[in-house]
Structure 1
């Protein structure tokens, strides 16, 4: 009895410690990775069931748990999106509903032009929001000329509590690094907040000879005082890739699609590289002027500097892998500013609720760049008859040559000349009417947009073209919620991108002609269900996009004469199903299925009418599952399948990529150290080291990544 009496306090303490540890572990396991609520452009933050649009938000917790290093890594969870590369460089290019979204057109807190434009580290952001579908009214026309199929909006992190989080990371082959995330609130009633993030990684990637280095820093400040809220964000990114694996282009439609090289093969030149440096700032202020009346204004800038030597392979023989390679050196600078202001008011009249939005936005962008090719010795190009700016190589046995001297240089490399200036301005107005106690929400609105673009000659600095066009993009959407957990919706909305300019060359009869902005009309209907921790969305959509092509117009003096026309059209029609959440305790699902019937419906002389659009597969599926074993509550086992259907490389549909499937596995384990969680993670992407052509979008073949092992440890205080 005496021994038991002495032992009782120790047993009680051990029991309390165990219970406390279980609480910490449970809290970590219940962090949200995906939510269906989010910012819907000028309409503000909306819950999934009250908006007639399809929005998915991936959280900072998902970035941590999946060890995501770029936006593309985050979007591997989104079935409607595939991440490929820019045409000739290492920029991530997002294909949403079969249409391109350039890195230039990724928004930050609703503003274009602020986000770093090629590679973005997701660690600075609380949410990565994906809006599937056209959005010219919601966000305005994207200045980079893309975004027909959807938008991506980054929400910076905010301090919600005192936080100290440090992560050490490893990625195959020898990329070591880490990141820190610090935050706190202080002052009376926690008026002031500060959140600071830093990231550094460096080392050899799994691809042969490829080396990457990333340095990122960001700080977010906010003030909450009475009816006023103010935020200020700063960011810095330095991304470097040495000897990056390039894309592959087929010389013509008669060249067969080559077999895929080894998963780690690299056919880049040793002098190829990409260097990116971006500095940006973003401020926002909101004020509650009266009950139900909000005024807001935001503004920001980005200063970007890029430099790269690029060397895409052009295959002339798909069976042997023979081809040519050339060099393009490009230094580039960007200076962008953006701003937006508006009011949002709610009131009720005659039994109908109203939420009125009115305001305006402006975006200023200036691009300066120069370029040069290379001149290669005759010995390296004679065997295949390559031009002086190219040399002979082979996809399976790359020929490595010294970096050539500059050839055909245009512009000052140290101080690149201005080549374009873009000014987009807009005014918007909308009203969301609520009927039957807001069970039926009808949104109607329009945005008037002015697009002003100047082009300049690199050598003289003189303006060569001016573009001033305006367009009005309306929206109408309805969301009907018969129950608290179910909504059916429909919308009709447009995308707006700047019209093309006819090429300036001797064969184009209308060289320099500027065309009106492209307006793409989208129709969408769908349903949303939120039940038992799971949100499901089913959407049916159709979008038509005008296309341009060269119409042969031979003349007596020039049989090769062409007329540049905007008479083509691509029609994408599809179905999307997404499932996100926890249908049962200890089980989490992230993913879905996208089916896309993307066709060329108007082509030159109707020759290719009805053919599939280049690089758009018939289906895409992403299925991710996480399970907490009942016998090991501190562990989480993860698995993901990414599947993509076949794609065509050319408009004639003669060159086809086979469909591919990738499997990923991983595990997390939470250890409690002195009352604080330490999360250990291990994952493997493409576990069977499968080799495949990932994408053919734009006619460029991009090879899928090899098996990649990642590990990290996060301590949180």
Structure 2
């Protein structure tokens, strides 16, 4: 996993690629786009023009099943799936949540979850340590890619990145989340979490084909087929197949990905069942790595598309996921639910780690094999009842995740070679100085077992105008480590904690609410390392305590939210005087966020906002660092995404986006800093009909100015921004 607390050996694990193929049968039934005109309007338009335009409706978009409706434009939803609380309206919960839809994914040609969350002012993205995984930054804290939830389950999401072909919603929960989601198995998620919801069959049949490509040479196809059948359409099937590959906008870097997803469901009067299969394969050759820096001299960025990776570097990743879920209405307003899922991951990689020091750069090589088996299960009950004038929404649930990791590695540490970030010479693959484990049969390196039980009650007063949520989750974390090769246990962790929740919502008007919460996040505590006076001592789980208040507004066609918060996260360090490793430090984030989404003016849509974080290190044991800013946490982030429907040409929409991030420090001493950066994106789409089939032509250009900059310093290494990338696509509904 992408944990900065891991050793370099563990941090560089990745995985081999296995071949798989899937034949997709297409069904010849008409499908209708969500924003298409009525049949009669389509017929009349077809008579008057060869390519009649499709009008755009400024109403909330209808989406599959029981998903919350979207604001005008269909790109941001008015509700989300919020952990143990289930599906909720944003106005009714004392948390800050944003949910992006599959329409946004299609409109912006988003390839991975990172492309989706780029719309959010409170979220930024960086490379994972030692590989090409995506790491998300919410309220200044990391969320590892393998700590992203999948339909409410931890441990099942493809490990390094999540492709978007099978995604219906991307829900971003901002703030401490141990109560609603439990502790993430990877040990991240202090400032928030991300959950992706998979596509299921809609009430309307879907047969949608997309052909896409980039200006750099990538080509791809996406086929999406969905049907409901049975006497009452109680059975559903949704199949998504995506294949994309070719040369990226970074020189000499190739990327190939494949995703196959099958969703089966049953919708009865009381019983609802879901079965999901997901297969994802990614292969990156010559991937541009992150850059470490020693000393105070910061490197200037190479040109935007320049690649300083060796051509022999690569990363291969393969994930296979299966899930079974069910809900049963045991009585009016009472529902029991249960689910189980498993994931198998294989990763193989040959990596280069460059380090810049006072004008010169050296690098070393690491080859890793990593395998992981995960299982996740949950069960619970939700119910509603009244006690006199007070309504009650109660929840009780239990969940478990078990993850077993296997690995082998070898590297050239101690034999660095000289290289350059600006004029890179190709070198032969360096030899091995040290290695462990068997690449033909990697042994067990760690196991993680997480179990929790949660209860809550949301009490409604004054006809649910005032909602008060109280609850708690008890979490047990067990982790064992084993030596590479020998599988001899060399570390153990076993501890528990209870995290409470207090939340309040008051509706000033039916569409205007204020809220407040006191919540916590929970991550595994550290273990005293060798050389300390208390070597081997296990620390209690680290708690991040949050206080948050805010206001939300829902005008049906657009919405807005404002929040202020404080998060205090424990930090462990070894005291230089006592030589005792303990959780004595604090990382404190105080912030304010504003976001807006929807269509405030007819034909003009907006997604954007601004975030401010006052972040400090406190009680660190080093007086020179107390009061300093943490690594990789910008003070300001700003997003403005505008869409405009051109009235002179119905069906044509123009899009522009600006993303700004203030400066960030690379070290806790605050002597190394990367400057602020701004990125401009543009796009356009034209919706019409060709041979009576709804068709959309899309173009999306990110980093329009082709600016070169370090986009993140999180983790203590530099991530360079992607160069200008232009994507084109044609989508047709049959």
Q: TM-score range by the shorter chain?
A: over 0.9
- Is this contact kept in 2: 1:532–1:584, CA < 8 A? no
Q: Is 1:458–2:488 an aligned residue pair?
A: no
**Displacement, 1:513?**
2.2
Bigger relative contact order (CA 8 A; separation at least 6): 2
Q: 1:534 aligns with which of 548, 552, 558?
A: 558
User: Is contact 1:493-1:523 (8 Å) kept?
Assistant: yes
- Are the counterparts in 2 of residues 185 and 191 from structure 1 also a CA contact under 8 Å? yes
Cα distance in 2 between the residues matched to 1:247 and 1:15: 53
Distance in 2 (CA, whole Å) between partners of 1:78 and 1:714 is: 26
| Match status 1:214 vs 2:257 | yes
- Is the aligned partner of 1:135 residue 2:177? yes
Matched, 1:408 2:455: no
Secondary structure of the residue that 1:122 maps to in structure 2? coil
603, 613, 620: which is aligned to 2:620? 603
Show CA shifts across 1:601-657 (max 9, x none): 122232211111111000001110000011111100000001000111111111111
Q: State the SS of the aligned residue for 2:429.
A: coil
Instruction: Give the C-alpha shift of residue 27 in structure 1.
Output: 5.8
Taking the TM superposition and a 5 Å limit, the aligned residue runs for 1:44-59 are 44-59=86-101
Q: Tell me if 1:591 matches 2:608.
A: yes
CA contact (8 A) 1:90 1:118 kept: yes
Q: Does 1:516 align with 2:540?
A: yes
The equivalent residue for 1:26 is: 56
Q: How far 1:256 sits from its partner (Å)? A: 1.1
Q: 1:20 to 1:397 in 2, by over 3 A?
A: closer
**Corresponding residue of 1:246:** 289
Conserved in 2, the CA contact under 8 Å of 1:495 and 1:519? Answer: yes
Of residues 495, 517, 522 in structure 2, which corresponds to 1:496? Answer: 522
* 1:584 shift after superposition: 1.6
Counterpart position of 2:10: none
* Residue 553 (structure 1) shift: 4.7
Distance 2:425 2:620 in 1: 39
Structure number having the greater helix percentage: 1
Q: Which residue is 1:566 aligned to?
A: 583
Q: By how many angstroms is 1:87 displaced?
A: 1.1
- Corresponding residue for 2:39? none
Matched, 1:204 2:228: no
Structure 2 counterpart of 1:578: 595
Cα distance, 1:455 vs structure 2: 1.1
Counterparts of 1:15 and 1:514 in 2: how far apart (Å)?
A: 71
- Is the contact between residue 125 and residue 137 of structure 2 (CA under 8 Å) also seen in structure 1? yes
In structure 2, what is the equivalent of residue 558 of structure 1? none
Of 57, 79, 84, 1:42 maps to: 84
| Larger Rg computed on CA atoms | 1
121, 126, 133: which one pairs with 1:84? 126
User: d(CA) in 1 for partners of 2:195 and 2:615?
Assistant: 25
SS at match of 1:197: strand
Give the drift of 1:407: 2.7
User: Please, which of 689, 701, 714 is the counterpart of residue 706 of structure 2?
Assistant: 689
Cα contact 2:442–2:485 (8 A) shared by 1: no
Residue 337 of structure 1 aligns with which residue?
Answer: 375
1:627 aligns with 2:657: no
Structure 1 position 171, deviation (Å) = 1.4
Deviation at 1:147?
0.3
Find the counterpart in structure 2 of residue 236 from structure 1: 279
- Rate the CA distance shift 1:705–1:442 in 2: closer, same or farther, 3 A: same
* Structure 1 counterpart of 2:230, from 187, 194, 207: 187
Give the TM-score of the pair, scaled to structure 2. 0.91
Structure 1 residues 162 and 661: CA distance shift in structure 2, 3 A:
same
Instruction: Say which is worse superposed, 467-476 or 22-31, in terms of deviation.
Output: 22-31
User: Against the structure 1 CA distance between its residues 120 and 340, is the aligned structure 2 distance closer, same or farther, given a 3 Å change threshold?
Assistant: same
Where does residue 194 of structure 2 map in the other structure?
A: 152
Distance in 2 of aligned mates of 1:532 and 1:348? 29
Distance 1:392 1:704 in 2: 24
Per-residue Cα deviation, 1:85-144 (whole angstroms, up to 9, x for no partner): 111111100010000101111001111000001011011110010000110010111110
Cα drift, residue 566 of structure 1: 1.8
Describe the shift of the 1:20–1:587 C-alpha distance in structure 2 as closer, same or farther (beyond 3 A): farther
Residue in structure 2 matched with residue 548 of structure 1 by the alignment: 572
Partner of 1:355: 393
Once the two structures are superposed, the pairs formed by residues 620-699 of structure 1 within 5 Å of their partners are: 620-699=637-716
